[in-house]
């Protein structure tokens, strides 16, 4: 008798071929994938008050209370009940978040070659907000030659918009000069 586990040959595993764009020697973010994440809820920032000056020593150290002749005659401090807010409903916290806090989204750009990421904050998931985020991304990371995305409505709308723009000869020449497909 012998152990088949130890004497059996290893299973031949065939690795999948990598996409050609991941093997090219290009700079970072020249080949990019994009997607949206969110919504993220945030609070509006309230400006902090500036203090006029640092408190003086007299303001920091309180004066000692005057000594009373009969300490038993002093009245005990009274506690006031905290005020309750009647207009806030505590039943469903998810609805409270949606009513009070605005939403924002993150446009994620990933480099296909190096797997680095670039995040851009947007107020909504529209074609206009994506184009503005892409403009900021391109200004920071350079031009993109190939862009991958999922088939979301926002990206399809941007694709139609860019196809209309590319029909203009001056834009077509500019993109050809930058080698953008």
What is the mean pLDDT of the segment spanning 124-148? 88
Question: H or E stretch including 175?
Answer: helix 169-177
pLDDT > 70: what percent of the chain?
Answer: 69
Q: Is residue 93 part of a domain?
A: no
**pLDDT, the chain, mean:** 75
Q: Is residue 117 part of a domain?
A: yes
Q: Which two tokens stand for residue 80?
A: 């006031």
Q: What is the pLDDT confidence band of residue 61, given thresholds at 50, 70 and 90? A: low
Domain that holds residue 170: 21-38+98-181
The residue that leads in pLDDT, 131 or 97, is 131
62 in a domain, yes or no? Answer: no
Q: What pTM, to 2 d.p., does this model score?
A: 0.57
Task: Say whether pLDDT at 155 is over 50.
Answer: yes
Is residue 124 situated within a structural domain? Answer: yes
Enter the tokens of residue 30.
């020249």
Smallest CA-to-CA distance from 137 within 118, 122, 162, 165 is with 118
Per DSSP bridges, beta strands 103-111 and 31-41 are: antiparallel
- Is the predicted pLDDT of residue 111 greater than 60, yes or no? yes
Question: Does the structure show a pLDDT above 50 at 76?
Answer: no
Number of domains in the chain: 1
- Give the domain CATH number at 132: 3.30.420.10
Please check the confidence at residue 67 and state whether its pLDDT lies above 70.
Answer: no
In a domain, 8, yes or no: no
What band does 50 get if pLDDT is binned at 50, 70 and 90?
A: low
Confidence label for 118 from pLDDT (cuts 50, 70 and 90): very high
Rama region for 142: left / alpha / beta (φ>0; ψ in -120 to 50; rest): left
In a domain, 25, yes or no: yes
**Can you give the pLDDT at residue 85?**
47
Q: How far is CA 163 from the centre of its chain?
A: 29
pLDDT at 88 over 90: no
Distance CA(21)–CA(37), nearest Å, equals 24
- Residue 49 within any structural domain of the chain: no
Whether the per-residue pLDDT at 42 is higher than 90: the answer is: no
């Amino acid at each position: 008798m012998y152990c088949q586990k130890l004497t059996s040959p290893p299973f031949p595993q065939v690795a999948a071929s990598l996409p050609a764009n991941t093997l090219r020697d290009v700079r970072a973010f020249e080949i990019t994938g994009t997607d949206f994440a969110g919504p993220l809820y945030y609070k509006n920032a309230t400006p902090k008050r500036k203090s006029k000056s640092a408190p003086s020593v007299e303001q920091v150290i309180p004066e000692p209370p005057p000594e009373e002749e009969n300490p038993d005659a002093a009245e005990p401090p009274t506690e006031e009940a905290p005020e309750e807010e009647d207009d806030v409903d505590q039943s469903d916290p998810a609805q409270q978040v949606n009513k009070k806090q605005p939403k924002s989204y993150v446009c994620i750009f990933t480099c296909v070659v190096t797997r680095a990421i670039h995040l851009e904050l947007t107020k909504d998931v529209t074609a206009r907000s994506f184009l503005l985020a892409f403009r900021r991304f391109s200004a920071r990371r350079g031009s993109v030659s190939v862009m991958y995305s999922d088939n979301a409505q926002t990206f399809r709308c941007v694709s139609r918009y860019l196809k209309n723009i590319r029909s203009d000869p001056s834009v077509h020449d500019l993109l050809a000069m930058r080698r953008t497909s």
